Structure 1
């Protein structure tokens, strides 16, 4: 199942790249804008609840699709670019195993825990942690 989900994310990444290729912007702008959705992490400066909200808002694929669709429907390439960057970034993050955040902590995502297991935390099926060999 994990491989299938990664293939799905890779397909979304490729679709975003294809859409970007048809936009009137130079190729260097995609990597230049790639990290902008991570500005949502700044919400963590005000606490984990707001941080999770702002991070998740900028990493939610539905927002990417709404912004992209609005850009296409309104003939606004800048909106289509914004939606494409959001989708590209979110798919890339998920491909690497970084999911939407829970307010319980930055490392607690809908895909499991990110990072290495800490002492006192059980590593088991569904925990997101890999057991030490």
Structure 2
């Protein structure tokens, strides 16, 4: 059974695989359009983070509303939930800022191309 936490874990695994795949350049990771495509996908991912971050509060809020939240060591549930709520707001704001930065990266990468002249893999096309 897939859980919300497992779904996010899979997304993290995908980013980890991307990091591994892009350590070195290769056939599918060597030209500016490759970076442009990857930045676009990363921007798409990050654009969804604020909502995902905010929605992590839902089970806590529900349980807190039922007065069933406990805190290790006997801490105050209301204070702990308030601290979590503030941290979530902070994280969502930072994710929105990251999203804007990635959109700027995507725009900056957009006009970058490749001079194919003299590259054997492009002979017979526009590069001859």
Higher RCO by CA contacts (8 Å cutoff, separation 6 or greater): 2
The alignment's TM-score, normalised by the length of structure 2, stands at 0.33
More helix per residue: 2
Of structures 1 and 2, the larger Rg is shown by: 2
More strand per residue: 1
The alignment's TM-score, normalised by the length of structure 1, stands at 0.32
